[in-house]
Amino acid sequence: MTGLHLLIPEYLLLAGAIAALFIERVSGREGAGAALGAVVALAAAIAAVVIGAQGAIAGGMLALDAVAVTVRVAIAALTAVYLLWLVGRGMGPERSREAVAFVLFAALGSMLMASARDLIVLFISLELATMPAYVLMGYRRNDERNLEGALKYFLLSMTTSLILLYGLSFLFGIAGSTSLVAIAAAPPAGLLGTFASVFVFIGLFAKMSAAPFHFWAPDAYAGAPAGSVAFVSTVPKLAGTAVMVNLATALVPHAPVLPAVLALAAVTSMLLGNLAAFPQTDIRRLMAYSGVAHTGYVLLALSSATPAGYAAAVFYTIAYVVPSMAITLIAAEEGTALDDLAGLVVRRPAVAWGSVVLLLSLVGVPPMAGMLGKLFAFTAAVSAGRLALVIVAVVMSVVSAGYYFRILRPIFFASRSDAPVLASSRSAAVAFSLLVAATLALGIAASPLLSYLGVRFF
Amino acid sequence: MQGAADHIVLAAFVIIGILFVPLTLTASRLLAPSKPDERKLDTYECGSEPIGPPWVQFRIGYYVYALLFVVFDIETVFLYPWAVAFDHLGLFILVEMVIFIAILAAGLAYAWKEGALRWR
């Protein structure tokens, strides 16, 4: 058991999650748990940067390569920003201290997922990441609609976990080992390898809400508090992309059809997500379909099955979840219907102009992060010979501008007299500014991150 | 031929398992005296007379206790193999076990503090 000190960020999150449950009672201050959680998550992010890439931990059950480190830092940092927002806004009528603990547990599971190199560790950390998400999605426990959405999420997520586990059990059967390294090195098992790999990836597609396994997402998100959706729909996706990268690396030799399966899921997700987002009037539903579409672009990058494509998928996921979290947080503050945003430019001009940056990044307009993410994803896919898919992706990006601008229209061209008066909160404002700044910074100064991921595109 | 012998044992086990239930049921039907009685159709409740319908609502309080019981249940699942192999495992696993129990204890302490153990 060597290298366990390299898991210090994970230990910090674990200790923080338990302490967050008790600190409010001890200190007697509302919001102390969220503040503690934000500090702990920030410390975890810094520790993860300092530790960096280290290779195998605990006999190869975990490994810290460039992808794992990038995702690990991104998860911890985003969790810190989210908890900073929670300090100011809380979970609406419910108290937030349990939410802080659940968020930290989910972040812990997500970070372990990103570095897992063993099927059992992978599955247990996946469950650790999703179990708290069930509670967060049903956080308004006296609201029937909320519970309905949470139940839907729970049942479907459990089913997909089982599908994933079924596939993983066959992988163990092929290699006689739960180690991903051993599975990658095992002799190809023909049809069984394809069967197992497709099962594993269908489970992951459902977790990542890729079409045609996305149908739970809009209902579950629309039932849940927007504050929960902002976390659940973003941070675990980072881990999901890292897992897909690790599994694709190990499984493509066993299942030559896998890149084609990824490409198929990519094209259905891009088409369905972007088109179905149009008629939505609830921001949470709209962002759910937008998430389906963005998962499509991630899968497009993955389907190239090259290191450049894998790095592009990781970068794209980061570039997409940052603005997506910020938009959902606006919905948590202002109301979840599109009309609730009416006149935001008059009430809160900084937030309104910030949301312009975020939405342009989601569309893919330079110089924001989303544009670079799309560029790298498309470059990787073209060099893997998927030109037709890239054409679909480009057309769909243009189409997506339509529904993202539907969010902007009420903000700038409508007015609302019955708007709720929102207490100003410095920590929520800082959190929002950080997300907008990150969206810009990832677009303007992406090269250090990309060279760290070991990719040179130009 | 060790593998083949194993399979024969397995097959025999499965076949006997499948046949056991119908054989015993048929045997008891053939051998037992049959005296149908109204009271024999009653719900079996440890020999005493059943009171009221079985579709009663259970106290929600039991549910919390069941959840807390699972905490100890899981603890035992991990503690038992550790205790059996304690001599080989050494200090590292001891520390790990203490951390594990501390996490569970924190969960229980939180439930206690929130009043989940109070019977209302």
| CA pair distance A232, A221, nearest whole angstrom | 9
A15 and chain B: CB distance < 8 Å anywhere? Answer: no
Concatenated DSSP letters of A142-202: T-HHHHHHHHHHHHHHHHHHHHHHHHHHHHHHHHSSSBHHHHHHSPP-THHHHHHHHHHHH
Query: Could you report the per-residue pLDDT of B1-25, keeping only the tens digit for each?
Result: 456 778 889 899 999 999 999 999 9
| CA pair distance B100, B93, nearest whole angstrom | 10
Whether the ipTM is more than 0.85: the answer is no
With CB atoms and an 8 Å threshold, state whether A1 touches B113: no
Reading chain A (458 residues) residue by residue, the pLDDT tens digits are 577 888 999 999 999 999 998 888 888 787 889 999 999 999 999 999 999 888 888 888 899 999 999 999 999 999 999 999 999 888 877 888 889 999 999 999 999 999 999 999 999 999 999 999 999 999 988 888 888 889 989 999 999 999 999 999 999 999 989 999 999 998 888 888 899 999 999 999 999 999 889 988 999 999 899 999 999 999 999 999 999 999 999 999 888 899 999 999 999 999 999 999 999 999 999 999 999 999 999 999 999 999 999 999 999 999 999 999 999 999 999 888 999 998 899 889 999 999 999 999 999 988 888 899 999 999 999 999 999 999 999 999 999 999 999 999 999 998 887 777 778 889 999 999 999 999 999 988 888 888 888 776 55
Gap from A25 CA to chain B (nearest CA, Å): 9
Residue A240 contacts residue A295 (beta carbons within 8 Å): no
Mutate which of A2, A11, A13, A18 to disrupt the B interface (most B C-beta within 10 Å)? A18
| Nearest CB partner across the interface for A18, out of B92, B106, B113 | B106
- Chain A CB contacts of B106 under 8 Å are 18, 21-22
Concatenated DSSP letters of A297-357: HHHHHHTT-SHHHHHHHHHHHHHHHHHHHHHHHHHHHH-SBGGGGTTHHHH-HHHHHHHHH
Q: In the predicted model, is pLDDT for residue B42 greater than 80?
A: no
Q: In the predicted model, is pLDDT for residue B116 greater than 80?
A: no
With CB atoms and an 8 Å threshold, state whether B110 touches A22: yes
Counting Cα atoms < 13 Å in the Cβ hemisphere of A70 gives 27
For residue A53, the 8-state DSSP code is -
- pTM of the entire structure? 0.88
The pair of structure tokens assigned to A307 is 């290191």
Query: Could you report the per-residue pLDDT of B50-97, keeping only the tens digit for each?
Result: 777 777 777 777 777 888 888 888 888 988 988 888 888 888 889 989
Give the start-end residues of each E strand in A21-77: 55-57, 62-64
What is the maximal distance between C-alpha atoms in chain B?
66
> Is the sign of the CA dihedral A280, A216, A107, A49 positive or negative?
negative
With CB atoms and an 8 Å threshold, state whether B110 touches A14: no
In angstroms, what is the C-alpha Rg of chain B?
A: 25
Query: Roughly how many angstroms between the first and final C-alpha of chain B, as a whole number?
Result: 65
| Nearest CB partner across the interface for B110, out of A1, A14, A21 | A21
| CA pair distance A243, A439, nearest whole angstrom | 24
Closest CA to A245 of A61, A69, A451, A422: A69
Mutate which of B71, B74, B110 to disrupt the A interface (most A C-beta within 10 Å)? B110
A14 and chain B: CB distance < 8 Å anywhere? Answer: yes
State the pLDDT at residue B92.
85
